[in-house]
Chains A and B, each alone.
Chain A
Amino acid sequence: MVNLALGWAEAYQTIHPEVLISVTGGGSGTGIASLINGTADIANASRSIKDEEIETAKTNDIEPVEFIVARDAIAVIVNPQNPISQLSLEQVSDIYSGKINNWAELGGEDRPIVRLSRETNSGTHVYFLEEVLRLGDSENTILFSRDTLLLPSSEGITTEVRDNPNAIGYDGLGYVTPDVKVIAISDVGSTNYVFPSYETVDDNSYPIARDLYMYTAGEPQGNIKQYLGWILSEEAQKIVLDLGFIPVQ
């Protein structure tokens, strides 16, 4: 999400040169901790604040106020020749952890599965690990199968999926090109397979989607209030779309 925060900060500072916004990475926990310590005005987070964090904030006389500023959906993609068109979340987890190694096990052709992932430094990689491989269970310590290909760019993933009928990949919905096939995904315990789209992300029916948040200490005032107002504007939400995320408006 740091890319999005940076994108906004840069765009806003060109419109309002008198405002200085500095963005620091480090993960959602770091951001929220800084807000609680009073070292940051806004915490960007790709998860909602935990109860214990709210408690700590209250002991510091800080009342965190939540804003949903964007949404993010991750599409699972395969080669257009691949007959598979839907998978359950558990099946995707089993593919990436190395339990399923051939498309035939899923009712497809007898082909080895080639797993593609973004590099470990990508936020998408971490989200996919936590919410898909580990199905959101924080006790789960499953890792990506070691022969998972780690590609440095979204283009690398799309190119290989487009060319290779054995491949499976995932990426932010905004990065998906028309020459790959998007898979419909069903949530744990459900048989309702859903394609990712702005609508299915909006009504929460697509399972691999998340809200992206900003937290402020108390109701925002002055410059911060203006900035948050701008972030929800059409202009700022267009940056959301450009960076491959889903706008909230």
Chain B
Amino acid sequence: MTRFIKDKKIGETIIISLVRVSGYSAIVFVLMIFYFLLSEGLPTFVKVPISSLISSIWYPIEAYYGLLPLLGGSIIVTFGAALVAIPIGILTAVYIAEVAPSSTREILKPLIEVLAGLPSVLLGFLGILILVPYLRQVLNLPTGLVALTGSILLAGIAIPTIVSISEDALYSVPRSYRDAALALGATEWQTIWKVTLPAARNGVLTAVMLGIGRTFGETMAVMMVTGNAPVLPTNPTYLFSPVRTMTATIAAEMGEVARGSDHYNVLFLIGIILFLITLIINIIASAVVFRQRKRQERILS
């Protein structure tokens, strides 16, 4: 009998420590990845002059390592994606949470989840075959392999994130808010626009940030449709030109680069920049959530 209890205790300890180890492992992995990125990327600053890194020419086989065109490329593609995804994403969330009858909601919600699960290479493939020729003809562009094409595909990746998180935020707005607005004679749209959306503002903001975070790090679809020309985009009209993103650069060049070469280190430096930018986006998103929670606690107390 005592033996049985002892065995049970040992089993318990082992399981608890296993759970604890897997919990800590996530932190350890992130730290190890960051350490590896730093150790491979930071030597760039010793080997490649800063003036080369901030130039506007990226042509690594002749030692031109200007990072600005790549950073600009990533920013403009993400900017375009945000332009498309934010209105569509929020309006879809409003429709699902506030307007749609529950039967439609039951169909729409899983469909959005399916969209979130689409492999991005599949989106890229559809992009090349359908969107690229279509955009070239409709917008009368020299080529359809432009930033905007990438933006539209990325919007497809960001929308499910924005919709499902915004929808949760809208759903958690207390029923009494809407009832009060409607009782004061507000129309359904006025209630949504003036009451429900502002009340869910922080959750919607988080949704937008997380959606943007996803687009910034996306690689495959972007590499297939943006043309990958390392041109420095200086204004929003570059949405209609080919651009090269940081993610596509790493994906295209890492496979052939000699380990330990300048080019190899520069690619890791790009990795660090990507890591930091996504980290900042995620921190902003969670800071918003944190603020919202504190506000709710204040109201409740």
Verify A152–B227 contact, CB threshold 8 A: no
Verify B60–A149 contact, CB threshold 8 A: no
The residue that A150 contacts in the complex, of B142, B224, B228, with Cβ under 8 A, is: B228
Contact of A148 with B61 at beta-carbon distance under 8 Å, contacts A120-B253, A121-B252, A164-B143 already known? no
Q: Which residues of B contact A25 (CB under 8 A)?
A: 256
- Bound-state Cα–Cα, A149 to B145, Å: 8
0/1 string, B127-143, CB within 8 A of A gives 1: 01100110010000011
Contact of A150 with B244 at beta-carbon distance under 8 Å, contacts A120-B59, A164-B133, A164-B144 already known? yes
- Bound-state Cα–Cα, A25 to B143, Å: 34
Contact of A114 with B132 at beta-carbon distance under 8 Å, contacts A143-B62, A148-B229, A156-B224 already known? no
Is B231 an interface residue, CB under 8 A from the partner? yes
The residue that A149 contacts in the complex, of B62, B69, B136, B143, with Cβ under 8 A, is: B143
Q: Which residues of B contact A147 (CB under 8 A)?
A: 229, 231, 241-242
Is A28 an interface residue, CB under 8 A from the partner? no
Which B226-275 residues sit within 8 Å CB-CB of chain A? 227-231, 241-242, 244, 251-253, 255-258
Contact of A121 with B229 at beta-carbon distance under 8 Å, contacts A156-B224, A160-B145, A166-B142 already known? no
- Bound-state Cα–Cα, A199 to B69, Å: 43
A-B contact count (CB 8 A): 76
Is B158 an interface residue, CB under 8 A from the partner? no
Q: Which residues of A contact B143 (CB under 8 A)?
A: 114, 149, 160, 164, 166-167
Question: Considering only CB atoms, which chain B residue lies closest to A119 in the complex?
Answer: B252
User: Contact size class for B?
Assistant: 20 to 34
Q: Which residues of A contact B253 (CB under 8 A)?
A: 119-121
Is A163 an interface residue, CB under 8 A from the partner? yes
0/1 string, B56-69, CB within 8 A of A gives 1: 01011110100001
Q: Which residues of B contact A159 (CB under 8 A)?
A: 128-129
Q: Which residues of B contact A126 (CB under 8 A)?
A: 61
Q: Which residues of B contact A146 (CB under 8 A)?
A: 57, 69, 229-231
Question: Considering only CB atoms, which chain B residue lies closest to A146 in the complex?
Answer: B231
Residues of B within 8 A of A (CB): 57, 59-62, 64, 69, 128-129, 132-133, 136, 142-145, 223-224, 227-231, 241-242, 244, 251-253, 255-258
Q: A146-B231, A150-B230, A163-B136 are in contact. List 14 more A-B contacts (CB 8 A).
A: A111-B142, A119-B228, A121-B61, A125-B61, A141-B62, A149-B145, A152-B223, A152-B224, A152-B251, A152-B252, A156-B128, A159-B128, A163-B132, A164-B133
